[in-house]
Chains A and B, each alone.
Chain A
Amino acid sequence: AQKITQTQPGMFVQEKEAVTLDCTYDTSDPSYGLFWYKQPSSGEMIFLIYQGSYDQQNATEGRYSLNFQKARKSANLVISASQLGDSAMYFCAMRVHGSGNTGKLIFGQGTTLQVKP
């Protein structure tokens, strides 16, 4: 079964510190992509970062980096130098690229991050 698990319902971090949001995934397909989205209270889904299963290096986008550990099937998001505007819900998602690829994203339950001043 294909599944995304985010075990941290809520996290707190002090402003300017780094924080890691956990994500583990389950798929038997060798080709897949992993995504992180940010959802502020307004409800929009903002794409943050993408990691392909065959990518050799961990993805980075500005203050976001993805700690991809394929053997452990984990894709943790690291936010460096947290800002007050980072307070939001964060979703990990997976897209499997196998036959009959629909582009469908499978989402985790989300982690609510609160940045303290």
Chain B
Amino acid sequence: DGGITQSPKYLFRKEGQNVTLSCEQNLNHDAMYWYRQDPGQGLRLIYYSQIVNDFQKGDIAEGYSVSREKKESFPLTVTSAQKNPTAFYLCATQRTSGRAVEQFFGPGTRLTVL
């Protein structure tokens, strides 16, 4: 099956701990994105990567880090520097060639800081 997988679905962490959210895709898409969604709100861009070994900060990158060592994978690390990390995190991919008219989203990871 082609698609985007995010794991885990639910994640709990203690304050002061770093945690890494997984995002894997087998759609062969070049671009990948991480968004954060707070309750009752729209999505905000954390980081994005348009090609392997390259990534850029989005609108709310502080307290987060990413890597893009493989085309298929774009993990997001929520560090202890992120002041309010409890949120729903969505990973997305997009084709960069042709008329790429949509971004494909994964099922999301719900992170709760205890």
CA distance A47 to B94 in the complex (A): 12
Q: How many B residues face the partner with a CB closer than 8 A?
A: 27
Q: Is the interface of A mostly helix, strand, loop or mixed?
A: loop
In the complex the two chains form, is A50's CB within 8 Å of B101's CB? yes
Given A103-B33, A104-B58, also A109-B100 (CB < 8 A):
no
CA distance A47 to B92 in the complex (A): 12
In the complex the two chains form, is B41's CB within 8 Å of A103's CB? no
CB-CB < 8 A to B45: which residues of A? 104-105
> A28 at the A/B interface (Cβ < 8 Å)?
no
In the complex the two chains form, is B94's CB within 8 Å of A103's CB? yes
Given A50-B102, A102-B56, A103-B103, also A43-B88 (CB < 8 A):
yes
Residues in chain B within 8 A of chain A (CB atoms): 31, 33, 40-45, 48, 50, 56, 58, 88, 90, 92, 94, 96, 100-108, 110
